[in-house]
Amino acid sequence: MFDIQKIRADFPILSRQVNGKPLVYFDNGATTQKPQVVIDAIATYYQEINANIHRGVHTLSQLATDAYEASRTKIQNHINAQFAHEVLFTSGTTHSVNLVANGFASLLKAGDEVLVSALEHHSNIVPWQMLCERTGAVLKVIPMNEKGELVMEKFDQLLSDKTKIVTVNHISNALGTINPIKYMIDKAHQFGAAVFIDGAQAVPHLKPNVQELDCDFYAFSGHKLCGPTGTGILYGKEAWLNKLPPYQGGGEMIKEVTFEKTTYAELPHKFEAGTPNIAGGIVLGTAVDYMNSVGFENIQKQETELLNYATEQLLAIEGLKIYGTADAKTSVISFNIDGIHPYDIGTIVDKLGIAVRTGHHCAQPIMNFFEIPGTIRASFAFYNTKEEIDVMVEAVKKAKMMLF
């Protein structure tokens, strides 16, 4: 059963004070807090099995390799990938996007088209722009409406035989919109285009099923689902990963090296040059286990309650506007108060122990769409409570009074 006090006790940081007040942590979209099992697993790795992987015959090296590969298999099962070698360890979503965008340089020619959505984080825009600059391909944007939803009629019209890849997030970090990715994947496939899904904001809330989605690539960061920073995953269909050239050259990713020619290792090693974040990769598996032990049904139930309650309470404040009112939405609320800069509110509520994000959330095109400099973003996790929302709402009211 979901016992919120028991869950909160798993996260040591939640009992600390900030600026003399109990911490209210509502910046989960940026990174989630870590449970004690994850913190302990990092220490255990370094205390007991630290060694380089895939290289040594000695026992520690084998123990570390087994733990690293067991984590890969765990993540394969979690996202329902067909093969473990379709699951690549990266340093995060940003690394995963760059790996694929870089690889596509060898497949695109001038005049080909890359479709990106208007709802993207900069890390799912800039690498594709760089790809287009390199190849002469054209970047086209799937527009959004006032509710922060992608406009599917426009998406349908943009697709053509020139479309080589469509890239879209599963859930928007700035607005919380859940995008209709299954529809988009199926539609893009009718034109032979590959589909890249940025799942950075989805994996903390749901369990993606990559085979059911039939996406070609799915990326996410470990630190947003209670795992360590500097960890991430790129899922890619075997056929695509075999087609793409390696991203980085170095140790581990080769079959044979001579000065005349190098041949590359099989998947997944072809894309994992150098010594990886071994502890991080192993502990990402611990984090996935932890999330599953809480249970995604429980996570969704708690977060939906928090989202509905916070939306209602915030909207009762006069002059407050919420950006992103999509029908399908996760526990992210982006808002502003008439005539007040988001930064000023963020600064005052921080003094009261509340961590919210202010600014453009690495999604400047979305802010430009709404013609605002930024928003205040409260993003909730399953370990947050309604009482914490009350604290935030009171703090926002107080900030409003002080700033008017």
**14 vs 234, which CB is nearer to ligand PMP?**
234
Are 11 and 32 within 8 A, CB to CB?
no
Dihedral sign of CA atoms 56, 62, 63, 67 in order = positive
- Per rule CB under 6 A, is residue 277 in the interface with ligand PMP? no
Helices 386-403 and 342-351 meet at what angle, rounded to 10? 120
- Rounded Cα distance between 158 and 39, Å, is 46
Q: Which of 216, 212, 219 is nearest to 80 (CA)?
A: 212
State which of residues 169, 331, 379, 384 lies at the interface with ligand PMP (CB under 6 A).
169
Are 144 and 175 within 8 A, CB to CB?
no
Alpha helix locations (H) across 316-385? 342-351, 364-370
CB of 57 to ligand PMP, least distance (A): 35
State which of residues 200, 279, 288, 367 lies at the interface with ligand PMP (CB under 6 A).
200
| Catalytic-residue membership of 132 | no
Q: How many residues make contact with ligand PMP (CB under 6 A)?
A: 13
Instruction: Return the CA Rg of the chain.
Output: 22
Catalytic: which of 132, 215, 226, 362? 362
Binding mask 124-143 for ligand PMP (x = CB under 6 A): x-------------------
CB of 156 to ligand PMP, least distance (A): 23
Applying CB under 6 A, the span of 17-25, 141-149, 194-202, 335-343 interacting with ligand PMP comes to 194-202
Q: Which of 165, 121, 161, 122 is nearest to 140 (CA)?
A: 165
- Per rule CB under 6 A, is residue 173 in the interface with ligand PMP? yes
- Per rule CB under 6 A, is residue 93 in the interface with ligand PMP? yes
Residues between 336 and 375 that touch ligand PMP (CB under 6 A)? 362
- Per rule CB under 6 A, is residue 92 in the interface with ligand PMP? yes
Residue identified by tokens 């697709």 is 159
Point out which residues bind ligand PMP (CB under 6 A): 92-94, 121, 123-124, 169, 173, 198, 200-201, 221, 362
